[in-house]
Amino acid sequence: MKGEPRPDRRRSSRTPLNLRVRLRYERNGQQQLCHCRSFDISEGGMGLVSPYELDVGQSVELEFSLPGMKAPLKMHAVIRSRVGFRLCCEFTS
């Protein structure tokens, strides 16, 4: 019904997180590297803000360091949705 909150269909809850994220992807057979900011993270994925043209369904590699960790994490992900500069990525590794 109009005006009622929609149920959250996510498999895991999200936690706000503001980190610098290195994002690698392939475009026209060439490896590209860009930097983004995260806005949240969950067990299954990460929300990013990116000014770069990335397509839904595109495979990417994310590299970031969580607070308190010395070594950065490298995660493979797929872009599941994009609204403006906001991307939602699902971890695949």
DSSP 23-89: EEEEETTEEEEEEEEEEEE-SSEEEEE--S---TT-EEEEEE--TT-SSPEEEEEEEEEEETTEEEE
User: Nearest 5°: CA angle at 42, between 36 and 21?
Assistant: 15
The segments of the chain whose pLDDT lies below 70 read 1-11
Q: Convert the pLDDT of each residue in 5-25 to its tens digit.
A: 545 555 678 899 999 999 999
Distinct helix (H) and strand (E) counts, the chain: 0, 7
Report the predicted TM-score, pTM, of the whole model to 2 decimal places. 0.83
* Domain that residue 33 falls in: 15-91
4 falls within a domain: no
Q: Tell me the C-alpha distance between 41 and 18, whole Å.
A: 9
Number of independent structural domains in the chain: 1
9 falls within a domain: no
